[in-house]
Amino acid sequence: MIGFFVFAFGLAVGSFLNVVIYRLEKDESAFKGRSYCPHCKHQLAWKDLIPVASFLMLGGKCRYCGGRISLQYPLVELGTAMLFLLSFKFQVSSFNQALSIETLNIFYLWMIASLLVVLFVYDLKHYILPDKILLPAIGIVLAYRVFEVWGLVRQSADWDLGFVVSGFAAAAFFLAIFALSKGRAMGLGDVKLAAFMGLFLGWPNILVALFAAFFSGALVGIALIILKKKAMRSEVPFGPFLIAATFVALFWGNALVNWYLDLMMV
């Protein structure tokens, strides 16, 4: 039952994130005004805003003008719900702490997941990682690391400086690529995202994330060229690969590292 409520909560948050993504492009506040159809601007009723269900009941079309509703909306809702459920299960299975500490950690992961979902979709659509979302994500992680120093989010007050080192190292690596390519291979947004990833994941999970991002990015790039969807010099946003790899490293990084080390010892 708890898992069901977590999933439902994730669906609701995903619905709100769709509003954030749309209004971020329009430079509008996501907290003011009723939701409206992007085609006819008609205000939406509550029955039009039920996550996933409304999309299915309406056949993917606006009730008022018949305009097509993007698949982005149910996919973001379902994706956010799955990330919330995975974060909840990961936190509960990874630590044995006081309920108040576990609750804080869970909400921390949910906040990070929400911001990364917005960055993922926005970069995929517009080829940019907006500072309005990316910088708060970095700030939240930095605040969490400070709380670690004070022992407010873990039973132990010991703090691993590997998180800071990982953040600086990842940012420096991406900054070098940015400088050497004169911004053609990588943007400054990717540099800031790499710094976030290092601070968030620490060592050695940052290596897992970077390997997964570059490997998956290369595979997708080659596939797009073979299918003639992209040319050799076409631009492909790298942020979505970095963000997807961040979640892979968060949930399965330790298992992947242990698998690799065991493989090397055979």
Q: CA torsion angle for 102, 105, 106, 107 (degrees, to 10)?
A: 130
Range of the domain at 71: 1-94
- Number of separate domains in the chain: 2
pTM of the predicted structure, to 2 decimals: 0.90
Clarify whether residues 157 and 263 are in a common domain.
yes
**Which is nearest to 196 in space by CA: 143, 252, 157?**
143
- 33 close to 96: Cβ distance less than 8 angstroms: no
Two tokens at 44?
A: 């939406």
Question: pLDDT for 59-92, tens place per residue?
Answer: 999 999 999 999 999 999 999 999 999 999 887 7
Task: Write the pLDDT tens digit of every residue in 4-18.
Answer: 999 999 999 999 999
Assess whether 72 and 108 both reside in one domain.
Answer: no
Q: What is the pLDDT of residues 170-221, one digit of tens each?
A: 999 999 999 998 888 888 999 999 999 999 998 889 999 999 999 999 999 8
Same domain? 19 vs 86 = yes
The answer on 159 and 257 residing in a single domain is yes
Q: Helix (H, G, I), strand (E, B), or coil: what is residue 36?
A: strand
Instruction: Say if residue 56 is in the same domain as residue 160.
Output: no
Whether residue 78 is found in the same domain as residue 120: no
Same domain (yes/no): 73, 103? no
21 to 125, 243, 263: CA distances (angstroms): 10, 16, 42
**Whether residue 21 sits in one domain with residue 3:** yes
- Class of residue 46 by CB neighbours under 10 A (exposed 0-12, middle 13-18, buried 19+): exposed
* Rounded Cα gap, residues 76 and 79, in angstroms: 5
